[in-house]
Amino acid sequence: MPAPARTSTAAVVAAGRAIVETDGVEALTMQRVAEAVGIRAPSLYKRVGSRSELVRMVADQVALDLAEALDAAVGGGDPETDLRAVLAAFRAFARRNPASYPLVFEPGSGGVSPEARDRAIAPVLGVVRAIAGEQHALPAARTVVAWAHGFLTMELGGAFQLGGDVDEAWEYGVTRLVRALRG
Amino acid sequence: MPAPARTSTAAVVAAGRAIVETDGVEALTMQRVAEAVGIRAPSLYKRVGSRSELVRMVADQVALDLAEALDAAVGGGDPETDLRAVLAAFRAFARRNPASYPLVFEPGSGGVSPEARDRAIAPVLGVVRAIAGEQHALPAARTVVAWAHGFLTMELGGAFQLGGDVDEAWEYGVTRLVRALRG
DNA sequence: ACCTGAACACCGTTCAAGT
DNA sequence: ACCTGAACACCGTTCAAGT
């Protein structure tokens, strides 16, 4: 006598993500997710193998959203204009999702799957290739992503609170990086 | 009738740090720290206010160690040589302390005090000033630290596992950044 | 002044029992 | 086939009682 499913994996992941966005990863407890989807905590194990797996699923979805946001920023015109647009979209995404963005790259938090992470930064690789050349595309893209991610981590973490203009530092970095890739 | 102290705050922090280095932040439980210093968990609250505070104290100590490592790398000669040396020391430190390094800059993990974090990157600011000029010193230093931290976070997180030479990407980044600051 | 055991409210996770 | 309550081993934290 089968019992009807009262929720779905997608709903569980969505609930988990909402909790992360609102109150941070540490607030993502099985009990709270269960309450959000209208079941009891033990039943969640019909959908996910463990809390860590759920966190990873949430992280993967955030990475996919980031990929889409970066894709949308590529205009197909001047490569340097595109790179600036992609970086602006990168920062906008992180500021729009301050609690879940860190999940995409941080090792400790939970760890996205390598595929999702690679997918997220694919747009950067494409745009950078046109600037730095095929030969340097990979290290150049890694340089750009490393800088952007490091900057955003520090910005979200409040590392820039004391003195100076954060927007100015971002613009400075973008300009210098674009120039450096060209050379 | 006073009871003699069986441990010290320094010993508690040191024990916490050792646990983080060995098994990661999530393994830092009050019970395990207590066992390491030879007391029971409730007694730890005579030394630290909470587990979070202990994590912060560990992070601060790691940040201080990083500051010393970077200080030691500054040779006082050619600024670009110094910057390369500081960055090499930065990476060496992160690889030597893969589990505790992330505590210095990550917002989620626990959060260092702003003072300790600023102290950690002070050597970079000093060296960069000589290259980028007084006027651009702050944004230039932020660009360098953001790149280095982003790169190391991704390297430690295994983001560079698929394809390409990580050392080459690091060298590429260092060279391009040094050049970009000069311009 | 510090340490302890007992207790509390929470976790994640397992599992037999229900439908 | 999914859901549940009860249970287990853990957490962090508080506190009265010991020395």
Q: How far is the CA of A107 from the C1' of D5 (A)?
A: 36
The predicted structure's pLDDT at residue A86: 98
Higher pLDDT, B157 or B174: B174
Write out pLDDT tens, residues A76-87.
789 999 999 999
**Is the model's pLDDT at A181 over the cut of 70?**
yes
Q: How far is the CA of A14 from the C1' of C11 (A)?
A: 22
Other CB atoms within a 10 A radius of the CB of residue B158 amount to 12
Q: How confident is the model at residue B108 (pLDDT cuts 50, 70, 90)?
A: low
Name the residue with the least CA to C1' distance from nucleotide D15: B42
Rounded CA separation B87/B96 (Å): 14
Q: Please give the torsion angle defined by the CA atoms of residues B34, B37, B38 and B43, in that order, rounded to the nearest 10 degrees.
A: -50
Q: Kindly state the average pLDDT of the residues B79-98.
A: 97
Nearest to A105 among B143, B157, B173 (CB): B157
Give B146's contacts in chain A (Cβ within 8 Å): 147, 150-151, 153-154, 173
Rounded CA separation B96/B79 (Å): 25
Write out pLDDT tens, residues A33-77.
999 999 999 999 999 999 999 999 999 999 999 999 999 999 978
Nearest to B183 among A102, A156, A179 (CB): A179
Give A154's contacts in chain B (Cβ within 8 Å): 105, 142, 145-146, 149
